């Protein structure tokens, strides 16, 4: 995958062994991404690595390939451990290890919260080569799973280190580091270099090679960014207009709150659009289910909070819509990074209302450019108004009803999706303009 005009490098030229070159080819990876081309040769020389790179840069391959190559040379159980801030990312990383290591029989275990701990202990009993874990759950297993330790570990990867530290895993990380041998290779990947990351780097890396895959807050050239200034009261109408204009594409719609993801998804489905919510409020099973439904193309609109804006590996999102403008400008970069990945083109549209202007201006300052207006003639947008208002009213009533029932039953997210599917069917109809 060529990035930003970088010359394409075949994996073989980086010193990757034939078995793994074949594995990359079977995944459709013909040439190395920038972070891979820069990190892999140093990693194969046995150096510690700090990689400044985001999801979408190919960073998983950048650490997985050298680890698997070392594993082929000296196979052993509990060879490497990757720490990830979120369950979804951990599962994706372990899937990439499995895909790359399929030909060499690599055994991986994902140790994440929200899934059955006993089953995970059984997996550990099978002595996997690679562990991918969230810090809390790894610590649980280190304390409670008999016979499990990281004493023989050769490689430790701290992925999305800035987020690992944001999410209060600091204490857990310390303990995990105390439980791993000093004689190990360490790779630290982070989207941003914060004070805490620098401190972590000093504490656990030795003479690392520093690699930067993208300049600090840039967005890629293949990304078309636009904004639309709109009155707050018509925001839903504009969203429906944009989604209808973009029908046939895959979209991620970002909202500020978990509740908004549910309400919007319900409203859009009431209008016949194939939307599905994902947020931190949902159970782990529901989150994975929603993600799989989106990946499989059953839904083409994913409504999410910033929890979903980083880490998740969703291969082809055509459009990112900022339904709510992020108050933290860096979240904008992470959100729009969900599209225009790996050389593809993508569109990002921000719907800015009168209360969000200050945050939007901060974003323009951060990315260093003024964005063009997204053309949406108001008279056309407002043709949706009656249907959108009615769909929203029905959705609010439904959420109140289901919320009440759920409280009595003690469920989490169940009910709403099923209710909608039963009531409206999984329709892919576009909402008709009046
Ligand atoms: P990551 O940044 O590791 O989450 O990877 C983002 C996406 O890029 C994943 O879907 C990978 O399968 C894909 N990918 C990683 N490396 C390559 C490559 N060298 N060529 C093409 N696609 C790649």
Taking the CA of residue 28 as reference, the ligand 1 atom at the shortest distance is 21
Whether residue 1 is contained in a domain is answered as no
Q: Are residues 232 and 151 in the same domain?
A: no
Instruction: Kindly state whether residues 120 and 201 are assigned to the same domain.
Output: yes
Q: Look at residue 320 and give its three-state secondary structure.
A: strand
Q: 50 and 88: one domain?
A: yes
Q: What token pair was written down for 73?
A: 């040379």
In this structure, which residue's CA is closest to atom 7 in ligand 1? 56
Query: Residue with the nearest Cα to atom 11 of ligand 1?
Result: 58
Extract the tokens encoding 21.
Answer: 């070159």
In a domain, 432, yes or no: no
Pair 204, 246 in one domain: no
- Same domain, yes or no: 252 and 279: yes
Minimum CA distance residue for ligand 1 atom 18: 29
- Are both 281 and 333 inside the same structural domain? yes
Last residue of a domain, one of 212, 243, 259: 212
Q: Which two tokens stand for residue 171?
A: 């204490």
Q: How far from the centroid of its chain's Cα atoms is residue 347's Cα?
A: 18
Using CA atoms, how far residue 12 sits from 17, 24, 42, 60, 130, in Å, is 7, 10, 14, 18, 23
Are 208 and 356 found together in one domain? no
Q: Is there a domain that residue 140 lies in? A: yes
Report the separation in Å between the CA atom of 27 and the middle of ligand 1, taken as the mean of its atom positions.
9
**Pairwise CA distance, residues 429 & 434, whole Å:** 15
Q: Give a yes or no: residue 251 inside a domain.
A: yes
330 and 381, same domain (yes or no):
yes
Same domain for 290 and 412, yes or no, is yes
Q: Residue with the nearest Cα to atom 19 of ligand 1?
A: 32
Instruction: Report how far ligand 1's centroid is from the alpha carbon of 20 (Å).
Output: 15
Residue 60 CA, closest ligand 1 atom number: 3
Residues 186 and 271 in one domain: no
Residue 22 lies in a domain: yes
Say if residue 174 is in the same domain as residue 91.
yes
The tally of domains found in the chain comes to 2
Q: Are residues 382 and 411 in the same domain?
A: yes
Assess if residue 5 is contained within a domain. Answer: no
Of all atoms in ligand 1, which is nearest to the CA of residue 36? 19
Residues of the chain with pLDDT under 70: 1-8, 214-221, 308-316, 342-344, 404-434
Instruction: Report the distance separating Cα 8 and Cα 404, nearest Å.
Output: 56
In angstroms, what is the span from residue 32 Cα to ligand 1's centroid?
A: 9
Q: Which of 342, 343, 344, 346 has most ligand 1 atoms within 8 Å of its beta carbon, as the pocket-test mutant?
A: 342
Q: Which atom of ligand 1 is nearest to the CA of 57?
A: 2
Ligand 1 atom closest to the Cα of residue 31 is 19
Residue located nearest, by CA, to atom 14 of ligand 1: 58
The CATH number linked to 75 is 3.40.50.300
What pLDDT, on a 0 to 100 scale, did the predictor assign at position 367?
80
pLDDT of 280 reads 77
Best residue among 3, 8, 12, 60 to mutate for probing ligand 1's pocket (most ligand atoms within 8 Å of CB) is 60
Cα separation, 59 vs 32, in Å, equals 10
Q: What is the domain range of residue 288?
A: 223-423
Q: Is residue 6 part of a domain?
A: no
Atom number, ligand 1, closest to the C-alpha of residue 30: 20
User: Alpha-carbon distance 264 to 260, whole Å?
Assistant: 6
Pocket of ligand 1 (CB under 6 A): 1, 29, 32-33, 36, 55-61, 313, 315, 342
Give the residue, by CA position, lying nearest to ligand 1 atom 20. 29
Question: What would the pLDDT profile of 309-358 be if each residue is shown by its tens digit?
Answer: 555 666 668 999 999 999 988 889 888 888 877 666 789 999 999 999 99
CA neighbor of 305 nearest in space, from 339, 281, 333, 275:
281
Q: Are strands 108-111 and 301-304 parallel, antiparallel or unpaired?
A: unpaired
Which backbone phi and psi does 240 adopt, to 5 degrees?
Answer: -65, -40
Domain boundary at 188, 212, 236, which?
Answer: 212
How far does CA 417 lie from the centroid of its chain?
A: 23
Measured in Å, residue 170 CA sits from the centre of ligand 1 at: 28
Give CA separation, 306 vs 149, 279, 280, 282, in Å.
34, 8, 9, 14
Are 145 and 121 spatial neighbours (Cβ–Cβ below 8 Å)? yes
Residue 320 contacts by C-beta under 8 Å, 6 or more apart in sequence? 251, 252, 254, 335, 336, 338, 339, 346, 347, 348, 349
Which of 212, 232, 261 lies at the terminal end of a domain, its last residue? 212
| Rounded distance between C-alpha atoms, residue 22 and residue 214, angstroms | 27
Q: Is residue 217 part of a domain?
A: no
Closest Cα to atom 5 of ligand 1: 58
Of the candidates 173, 124, 174, the one whose C-alpha atom is nearest the C-alpha of residue 144 is 124
Q: What local confidence, expressed as pLDDT, does residue 431 receive?
A: 52
Q: Which of 3, 29, 35, 213 to mutate for ligand 1's pocket (most ligand atoms within 8 Å of CB)? A: 29
């Amino acid at each position: 995958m060529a990035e930003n005009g970088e010359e394409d490098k075949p994996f073989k030229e980086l010193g990757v062994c034939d078995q793994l070159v074949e594995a990359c080819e079977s995944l459709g990876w013909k040439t190395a991404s920038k972070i891979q081309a820069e990190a892999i040769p140093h990693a194969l020389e046995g150096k510690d690595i700090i990689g400044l790179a985001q999801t979408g840069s190919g960073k998983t391959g950048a650490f997985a390939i050298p680890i698997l190559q070392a594993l082929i040379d000296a196979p052993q159980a509990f060879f490497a451990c990757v720490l990830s801030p979120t369950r979804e990312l951990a599962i994706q990383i372990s899937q990439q290890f499995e895909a790359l290591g399929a030909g060499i029989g690599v055994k991986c275990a994902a140790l994440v919260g929200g899934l059955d701990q006993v089953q995970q202990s059984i997996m550990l009993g099978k002595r996997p080569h690679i562990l991918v874990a969230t810090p809390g759950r790894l610590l649980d297993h280190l304390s409670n799973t008999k016979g499990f330790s990281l004493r023989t570990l050769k490689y430790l990867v701290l992925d999305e280190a800035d987020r690992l530290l944001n999410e209060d895993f600091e204490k857990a990380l310390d303990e995990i580091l105390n439980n791993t041998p000093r004689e190990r290779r360490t790779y630290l990947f982070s989207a941003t270099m914060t004070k805490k990351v620098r401190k972590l780097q000093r504490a656990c890396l030795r003479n690392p090679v520093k690699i930067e895959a993208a300049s600090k807050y840039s967005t890629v050239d293949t990304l078309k960014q636009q904004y639309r200034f709109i009155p707050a009261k018509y925001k839903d109408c504009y969203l429906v207009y944009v989604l209808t204009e973009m029908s046939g594409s895959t979209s991620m719609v970002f909202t500020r709150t978990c509740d908004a993801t549910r309400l919007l998804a319900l409203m859009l489905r009431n209008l016949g659009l194939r939307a599905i919510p994902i947020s931190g409020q949902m159970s782990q099973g529901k989150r994975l289910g929603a993600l799989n439904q989106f990946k499989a193309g059953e839904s083409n609109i994913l409504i999410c909070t910033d929890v979903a804006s980083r880490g998740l590996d969703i291969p082809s999102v055509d459009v990112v819509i900022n339904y709510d403008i992020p108050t933290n400008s860096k979240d904008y970069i992470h959100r729009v990074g969900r599209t225009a990945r790996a050389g593809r083109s993508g569109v990002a549209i921000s719907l800015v209302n009168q209360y969000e202007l200050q945050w939007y201006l901060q974003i323009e300052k951060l990315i260093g450019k003024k964005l063009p207006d997204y053309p949406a003639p108001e008279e056309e947008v407002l043709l949706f108004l009656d249907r959108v208002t009615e769909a929203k009213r029905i959705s609010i009533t439904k959420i109140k009803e289901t919320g009440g029932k759920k409280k009595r039953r003690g469920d989490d997210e169940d009910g709403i999706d099923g209710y909608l599917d039963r009531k409206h069917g999984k329709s892919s109809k576009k909402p008709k303009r009046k």
